[in-house]
Amino acid sequence: MKDLNILLHRKWCRPNYIIGNLYLNGVFFSNTLEDKDRGLKQSMPLDEIEQCKVYGQTAIPSGRYEVRITYSNRFKRLLPLLLNVPGFEGIRIHAGNTPEDTLGCILVGKNDRIGQVRHSRTIMAKLQQQIDSTILNGGKVFIDIKNNM
């Protein structure tokens, strides 16, 4: 029963998106794409987070979150859900290619075009397999989101 520790290092901040690197138990896995970084931290008061947040255009607060697999009504399938994200609901890790696809969520893929991640469905399927396997074997999954810009 080994836990899966996911690390998201936010690396390149642009005016309306962030590109990061995702590591599984310390090993590079993929790039990520998120909405604009507004300097939110998990430790901030909720009212401060809500004042800074722009719906659908704001990356979630940096911090540590447990990840569970739950059914997504939007995507009509099981997907990873980040638990207890202050000021946000329904934050998932899923496939997508551009900042318009994020709505606060984390997209995985290969950043080989400016402002995009590609091969997202294939990479997401591999990530979901790792998460599912960990949970089925009695482990827990956590994601640490760190700003490194």
pLDDT tens sequence across 37-58: 999 999 999 999 999 999 999 9
Residue 111, classed as helix, strand or coil, is strand
Q: What is the pTM of this model?
A: 0.95
Q: How confident is residue 148, by pLDDT bands cut at 50, 70 and 90?
A: confident
pLDDT tens sequence across 11-22: 999 999 999 999
- Strands 106-113 and 27-34, bridge-based pairing: antiparallel
DSSP 59-80: PPPBEEEEEEEEEETTTTEEEE
Distance CA 59, CA 36 (A): 5
CA dist 14 → 4, 6, 18, 83, 141 (Å): 29, 23, 6, 26, 29
Of 53, 57, 146, 54, which Cα lies nearest the Cα of 101? 57
pLDDT at 52: 95
Of 81, 69, 78, 84, which Cα lies nearest the Cα of 135? 69
Record the tokens describing residue 35, joined without a space: 């909405």
Question: What are the φ/ψ torsions at residue 79 (nearest 5 degrees)?
Answer: -145, 155
